[in-house]
Amino acid sequence: MSATAAALQPGLACDPATLRALGHPRLRAVAAGIRQFLIENVCRNGGHLGPNLGVVELTLALHRVFRSPRDRILFDTGHQAYVHKIVTGRQDFTSLRLRGGLSGYPSQAESAHDIIENSHASTALSYADGLAKADAVREIAGRTTVAVVGDGALTGGMCWEALNNIGGSSRPVVVVLNDNGRSYAPTSGGIADHLADLRAGNGSNVFEQLGFVYIGPVDGHDLPELEHALREARSYRSPVVVHCVTVKGKGFAHAEADANDRMHAVGTVDPTTGRPRSSAKPTWTDVFASEIVDIGAQRDDVVCLTASMLLPTGLGEFARRFPKRIFDVGIAEQHMVTSAAGLAMGGCHPVVAVYSTFLNRAFDQVLMDVALHRLPVTFVLDRAGITGPDGPSHHGVWDIGLMTAVPGLRVAAPRDPSQLRELLREAVSAAGPTVVRFPKASAGASIGAVDRMGCVDILRSSGNDILLVSMGPVAQACLDAAALLEAEGLGVTVVDPRWVVPCSPALAALARAHRRVFTVEDSSRDGSAGSLLAQAVPEIPVYTIGHPRAFIAHASRQQILESHGFTGSAIADTVLEGRS
């Protein structure tokens, strides 16, 4: 580690009070040291690199002008809060996003300076509106609520609902617009065009029309200019927008030049070359990316939608091959789903590629805009189940519980790459709404079936004592458990229902042929697919091995799965104990 970065280990005088006493030349040196610290630590452990490199000076200026935590500083989204963590006493990044280490997002458990645990975009302005209203109700004067909002977040509808309320008030809310022209990918739509006009000094100003004082554009890397603008904003004691123009990845050439945003969030990376330290195995996302291109080549009615996640959800090659059939709606999942409904009504088959955790935000649209109309829309849920280092807000453990409530919707959970390809094709051929879910993980080897009953694959069969229902890529763990249980003298059948919602008649029939049934699913036990099977066969004991009704802390995916009993030995022990 370089001397500059080493100086930022615990004990560095980099707290807000010390920062306020420094002159700008010394502050620029601190900023350079923070950048080097981020590059070396995030490249070593993984995390959000580009967004944090872009907000170094902005974060220093915020903590010099405002008095956190009395003045509340909110980040939208929270992945740009690493510098804020450093300044507020959290400089041990050796275990960033690892079990027991710092969260990759703001965390109330870590610091009083973290007001909201915000990792879903476009929400901070609504929090800010509520906090400012609470101060008015309680007659608390003299403090400011500050929302640091990325331009990508402004593509989400909640931002504009909040801006409508804030701008129509007289409450002291400072909106710091961090405009780098990107979210994961270049910011799209009319808002991006308007911000470009503001940067060029052209046209009317939508923020002023909504009731805000507008300051900017400001160079987001010029500390004196930033501080002057923020002090001016604070002095108004009313709604203000400070428009700061920043460079994503500032100070790291590989990130600044990263047109495809591979440096937005990184795994372990060589900081010299900017490349991954080891070649990764093909992931579930890679398999989907390949198959959707093949489907698109055969079906000109298939279109794809993304919410600013074109590359992370595997749609890059589809966009290159079929540019007229790809739609990036911005960070606007609700709009995306209802737009997909309109596409389906218009004769297309939309494939909505989205992280599982973000589909939660559009449940009403899935229910009332897609399912109520029985529309052929396919939702491809990447990052389903436990995701790992991104923590509780990103684990995709709620989608099954939500989707089991939707009439007419079918959910597939492939066990291996070949099944993902097969089930995706079945989904886009369906007459109604479908979901295909898979995890953030390397795609394993294919697991063959010895038989098929209805739509259910039978993976192993040695008797009718125990039925293990493997839902998704937990099949190998179930097969390992079966071998251990057979050694204990039990007859075990392992099946993969493939379509886990609704419960198929074939699966119910198989359950009735066994003494006890255990479903194994990488989702919450509450509202599980196993609960549907239990309702279908009330005469048979059905137990679900899944995740607890809890917000699960960050750790590696494998660590969390092991701790929750998703190994062959743990599954076997659960069966032998007669409980889940």
- For residue 399, what is the domain's CATH number? 3.40.50.970
Last residue of a domain, one of 437, 472, 487: 437
Catalytic residue among 117, 291, 333, 521: 333
pTM for the model: 0.92
Last residue of a domain, one of 437, 464, 488: 437
Q: Which of 35-49, 114-128, 259-273, 477-491 is least confident?
A: 259-273
Q: Is 119 annotated as contributing to ligand binding?
A: yes
Residue 274 falls inside a structural domain: no
pLDDT of residue 10: 36
CB-CB contact of 473 with 438 (8 Å): yes
- Asked whether the CA dihedral 469, 471, 473, 477 is positive or negative, the reply is negative
* Strands of the 516-524 sheet, one edge to the other: 451-453, 456-461, 492-496, 466-471, 516-524, 542-547
pLDDT of residue 367: 98
386 and 461 fall within a common domain: no
CB-CB contact of 483 with 493 (8 Å): no
How far apart, in whole angstroms, are the C-alpha atoms of residue 461 and residue 484? 14
A 10 A CB-CB count for 281 gives 10
525 catalytically annotated:
no
39 and 159 fall within a common domain: yes
267-276: average pLDDT: 78
pLDDT of residue 262: 67
pLDDT of residue 276: 76
pLDDT of residue 259: 60
Choose among 284, 480, 291, 482: nearest CA to 385: 284
Residue 279 falls inside a structural domain: no
69 and 217 fall within a common domain: yes
275-287: average pLDDT: 83
- For residue 486, what is the domain's CATH number? 3.40.50.920
Element housing 87 (H / E): helix 82-87
Residue 272 falls inside a structural domain: no
Residue 228 falls inside a structural domain: yes
Interhelix angle for 568-577 vs 475-487, to 10°? 50
Q: Is 379 annotated as contributing to ligand binding?
A: no
pLDDT of residue 272: 79
245 and 376 fall within a common domain: no
Q: Is 347 annotated as contributing to ligand binding?
A: no
55 and 199 fall within a common domain: yes
Residue 442 falls inside a structural domain: no
92 and 184 fall within a common domain: yes
- Give how far the C-alpha of residue 134 lies from the chain's centroid of Cα atoms, to the nearest Å: 29
- What would the pLDDT profile of 362-387 be if each residue is shown by its tens digit? 999 999 999 999 999 999 999 999 99
Catalytic residue among 90, 361, 410, 421: 361
pLDDT of residue 201: 87
422 catalytically annotated:
no
143 catalytically annotated:
no
137 and 259 fall within a common domain: yes
Residue 273 falls inside a structural domain: no
343 and 219 fall within a common domain: no
181-203: average pLDDT: 80
263-275: average pLDDT: 77
Above 80 in pLDDT, residue 277?
A: no
60-67: average pLDDT: 97
Burial of 247 per CB tally in 10 Å (0-12, 13-18, 19+): middle
Last residue of a domain, one of 405, 437, 469: 437
Q: Is 208 annotated as contributing to ligand binding?
A: no
366 and 257 fall within a common domain: no
Q: Is 139 annotated as contributing to ligand binding?
A: no
Choose among 96, 162, 158: nearest CA to 121: 158
Q: Is 121 annotated as contributing to ligand binding?
A: yes
Q: Is 342 annotated as contributing to ligand binding?
A: no
Please give the DSSP secondary-structure letter assigned to residue 122.
T
Q: Is 496 annotated as contributing to ligand binding?
A: no
- What would the pLDDT profile of 473-522 be if each residue is shown by its tens digit? 999 999 999 999 999 999 999 999 999 999 999 999 999 999 999 999 99
Above 60 in pLDDT, residue 222?
A: yes
Catalytic residue among 171, 248, 437, 498: 248
pLDDT of residue 183: 56
Residue 277 falls inside a structural domain: no
pLDDT of residue 252: 82
250 and 368 fall within a common domain: no
Residue 389 falls inside a structural domain: yes
| Greater pLDDT, 8 or 393 | 393
- What would the pLDDT profile of 8-55 be if each residue is shown by its tens digit? 543 345 789 999 999 999 999 999 999 999 999 998 888 888 889 999
Structure confidence at residue 278 as a pLDDT band (50, 70, 90) = low
Q: Is 151 annotated as contributing to ligand binding?
A: yes
Across 426-573, where does the E strand assignment appear?
A: 434-437, 451-453, 456-461, 466-471, 492-496, 499-501, 516-524, 542-547
Q: What is the mean pLDDT of the chain?
A: 92
- What would the pLDDT profile of 130-161 be if each residue is shown by its tens digit? 999 999 999 999 999 999 999 889 999 999 99
151 and 35 fall within a common domain: yes
Q: Is 364 annotated as contributing to ligand binding?
A: no
Domain limits at 106?
3-266
Domains contained in the chain, number: 3
